[in-house]
Structure 1
Amino acid sequence: MRRDLSFVLAAALGVAPAVGCNQKSPPPGGAAPAPATPITVVKPERRAIKRVIEQPGTVTAFEETVLHAKLPGFVGKIADDPEKANRPPHDRQTDIGSRVKAGQVLAVLTMPELDEEWKQKVALVKQAEAEVVQSEKAAEAMKAGVTAAESLVTVAEAGVDRSQALYERWQKEVDRIAKLLGNGVGDSQTLDETKNQLRAAEAGQKEATARVTAARAAVKKAVADEAKAVADVVGAKAKLEVARAEVNRLDALRSYTAIKAPFDGVVTRRSVNTGDLVSGTEKTGLFTVARTDPVRVVVNVPEADAGQVAVGQDVRLALQGPEQVGKVIRTSWSLEPGSRTLRTEIDLPNEIGALRPGMFVHAKLTIELPAAWSVPAAAVGKSGDDAIMYTVESGKAARVTVQLIKGDGQFTQVRRYKKSSATDWTDVTGSEQFASPTAALADGQAVP
């Protein structure tokens, strides 16, 4: 009944009815209908896939350093570029495009107050050196004073022995004369004189003993003075080290007056002229130096392929001139939050400077994926966010949602599939039958 109704409608519209399940009505004007897309049935095959990742890239300098002034000062001189010796005087300065060597002076700053402070510190070093010599001489003198004091102790002790002997002599003399007087020989005057001599000898003995005590005290004082002199030497030497450290500090600061290239490279920016006042806070810096041998080629690989990129992998690079082959040297490992891409870097030699930062590069990374169940790419389609395929069951196409691995444009690796009525996934085993191309199929369509 429906077929009869279709004939009636077709007659009313003046269009011939379609014959066959895949035939369409001819377009107005009598043109011949397009041939139907042939439907084929395929089975998954285990196949290793070589996937080519093609992404644009950019040449960047291997290093790029912005040189700032550490201390405030005036630009006293922009250094001459040795390679411009034959140019006019006004064009001999280091400028953008100048090729420089590591340590080459690009500009010199003037800081008069720093120079004067340096001179003062140098003078203080000389003063401290003189004080060290003076204290060392004083220490030597104090050491000699200890020796002299010790010799005086020896002399004083000898005086004690001498006075003791003299005392004993006069003591015996008094005893002898007193004995003679007892026997009625001699006179009392001689005894009195002898006793006076004895008392003099006794006083001399006490004096000699006091001299020993004084000499020993003098030794102690000399030893203390020597120790102080030695400490003065240590203090003078420490003061000298402090003075030298101050000179070294100012030498370090004065070294900052020379703005030097950190490595071999090219000056890509110059922001100062002779006489400019710089403070070290300039955002643009004084010079920018780029290291251009080697250069980095930066390629941002999309998230879908990021896991397949590995260090050491070959990369074909299309630049100006012949195609070059490089290797992945490093990756950022983590993806950029915004673009969700993996920063991949390839280093290229650039001895003659043919590659310049900012140049465009077309990169091709070939990745060989392990063997997995694969089907022709035409057998896979999209429905919204899902990948779909059609299985062949009882001669009809049944749409299934599939989970894919990777593809190379000709074949696509499939992990598993799920029917619309199922809740669990089914792993692909190779026994399945899939219809292709997906674009020419509909769910439930008969498959010859």
Structure 2
Amino acid sequence: MSPLLRRVLMHPDRCFILLVALLGLLGCSRSTPAPPPNPTVAPDITVISPEQRSITWTIVVSGTTQAFEETALCARIPAYVRSIAEDPDKRNHPSYDRSIDIGSRVKGGQVLAELAAPELEEEQKQKAAFVRQVEAEIFQAQKALAVAEAAVAAAKAQAGQARAAASRAQALYDRWHAEMERINRLVASGLIDTQTRDETLHQFQAAEATRQEANAQVQSAEAAVARAIAERDKAAADIAAAQARKEVARAEERRLLALCNYCRLLAPYDGIITRRSVHPGDFVTPNQQQPLFTLSRIDPVRVVLQVPEADAGWIREGQRIHVTLPGDSASPRTAPVIRTAWSLQTPSRTLRVELDLPNADGQVRPGMYVSARIPVELPPHWSVPSAAIARIQDEPVMYLAENGKAVRVAVQLHRGDGRYIQILRYRRSSATEWSPITGQERIAIPATALTDGQALP
């Protein structure tokens, strides 16, 4: 007997404790027998035939929301920022935070900022003054035309008087010419003396000189008329030239006025300011890269979907699409297809599809993730239950019931809705050509419970 066992037997209480411990260890080492496994119930094998069935297939794509319109508002002229307009919704804000900023809702035509271009403003005033000067010149030219027309009338009257005097001188000349011929005949006949003939000759010569003077006055008066007419035409041409200068001056004034109007930065439509990069006192130029403000129209919002190439042919304008947005209490929303790009995007081979989602409450924000479900009603085609299709090495197969056995064939699938799958054709393992579906085939299901050559009940 070993010394250890001798010491234990000398103390009966220790013997009892050791016996209890051994019994406990023996009890723990026993294992409870496991219950018998449940018997496996073999699935029922049935045989069906394909049937013509229309399937509602759902295309699931993702997309994003965009502002319906987004405009970068830039400076059109070099200028200083005089002020940023106040936001009416910020009346209760601190004085330093009352101007239009990101998040401000603005109306179309509302002033966003005032720019200052002193040189341009002075130039516009100069052009306006030049327009007034030209208008004064036109008025002066019109008065000169009136004077010229009066001068023409006076010259014509004087010409008339000169012609009348010429007629009177001609008549006097004709009288003395006739008288001179009569006196010459009397002198030749010796009835009167030569002294009388000399007196008549002097009168005739005086009448001839008077006639010449009158004719010269007529020519002078007619020249005066021509000069007056020329001056009148010149006055009219001066008016036309002044009016042309006025149009040029007004066009230049309008150009400067249009440039000055660029000093007021206006919102082109109702929307929300999403970016602001300008402060009072900044110097801005037309060619700076960053716009002063970015304005976004958010009602409606534009939902942009990217539909894969394989599904693009099913998309039609007006087609209803169910749109789900995370965190949107109104989801899912339904909206029609408004527009498509028609052509596919080259890198991704997807079709851009756009919906216009009403957003009067402003719950939908640009940039949100969108999940869209597009139901497509497929035309009737030969279909089988989904259980009739199995996959072997990721290739779809089905089993034909022939001569009491399951014959595995490869199958080409079209679309399915989870319950039924449209099938196109099948091919036996020993064949190289595909056989079309005729509807006379007998197909065993479920395919997952079958093997090639298995006997069918």
Residue 370 of structure 1 is matched in structure 2 by: 379
Q: Please state if 1:153 is matched with 2:162.
A: no
Residue 143 of structure 1 is matched in structure 2 by: 149
Length, aligned pairs only: 420
Residue 356 of structure 1 is matched in structure 2 by: 365
Letter in 2 for 1:337: T
2-structure distance, mates of 1:311, 1:435: 41
Selected match of 2:330 from 306, 322, 331 = 322
1-structure distance, mates of 2:389, 2:228: 107
1-structure distance, mates of 2:329, 2:300: 17
Letter in 2 for 1:145: A
Taking the TM superposition and a 5 Å limit, the aligned residue runs for 1:205-244 are: 205-244=211-250
User: Structure 1 residues 386, 252: closer, same or farther in 2, change over 3 A?
Assistant: farther
User: Structure 1 residues 447, 235: closer, same or farther in 2, change over 3 A?
Assistant: farther
1-structure distance, mates of 2:40, 2:341: 52
* 1:370 partner SS: coil
2-structure distance, mates of 1:297, 1:329: 10
* Cα shift at 1:68: 1.0
* 1:406 partner SS: strand
* Cα shift at 1:376: 1.4
User: Structure 1 residues 140, 429: closer, same or farther in 2, change over 3 A?
Assistant: same
1:297-330 Cα deviation digits (max 9, x unpaired): 2233333332222222222333310333322222
Worse-superposed segment, 346-355 or 117-126:
346-355
Taking the TM superposition and a 5 Å limit, the aligned residue runs for 1:284-363 are: 284-319=290-325, 320-323=328-331, 324-363=333-372
Q: Please state if 1:252 is matched with 2:258.
A: yes
* 1:254 partner SS: helix
2-structure distance, mates of 1:435, 1:374: 14
User: Structure 1 residues 70, 39: closer, same or farther in 2, change over 3 A?
Assistant: farther
Taking the TM superposition and a 5 Å limit, the aligned residue runs for 1:34-433 are: 39-182=45-188, 184=190, 186-319=192-325, 320-323=328-331, 324-382=333-391, 387-433=396-442
Taking the TM superposition and a 5 Å limit, the aligned residue runs for 1:28-39 are: 39=45
* Cα shift at 1:99: 0.4
1-structure distance, mates of 2:408, 2:227: 113
1-structure distance, mates of 2:61, 2:416: 16
Q: Please state if 1:434 is matched with 2:443.
A: yes
Residue 21 of structure 1 is matched in structure 2 by: none
User: Structure 1 residues 183, 270: closer, same or farther in 2, change over 3 A?
Assistant: same
Letter in 1 for 2:144: A
Letter in 1 for 2:329: G
2-structure distance, mates of 1:283, 1:37: 71
Structure 2 unmatched ranges of 5 or more: 1-34
User: Structure 1 residues 442, 72: closer, same or farther in 2, change over 3 A?
Assistant: farther
* 2:280 partner SS: coil
Q: Percent identity?
A: 51
User: Structure 1 residues 399, 154: closer, same or farther in 2, change over 3 A?
Assistant: farther
Give the aligned CA root-mean-square deviation in angstroms: 2.6
* 2:174 partner SS: helix
1-structure distance, mates of 2:329, 2:437: 46
* Cα shift at 1:230: 1.7
Letter in 1 for 2:359: N
* 1:60 partner SS: strand
2-structure distance, mates of 1:392, 1:111: 90
* 1:274 partner SS: coil
* 1:191 partner SS: helix
* Cα shift at 1:446: 4.4
* Cα shift at 1:281: 2.5
Which structure's CA Rg is the greater one? 2
Structure 1 unmatched ranges of 5 or more: 1-28
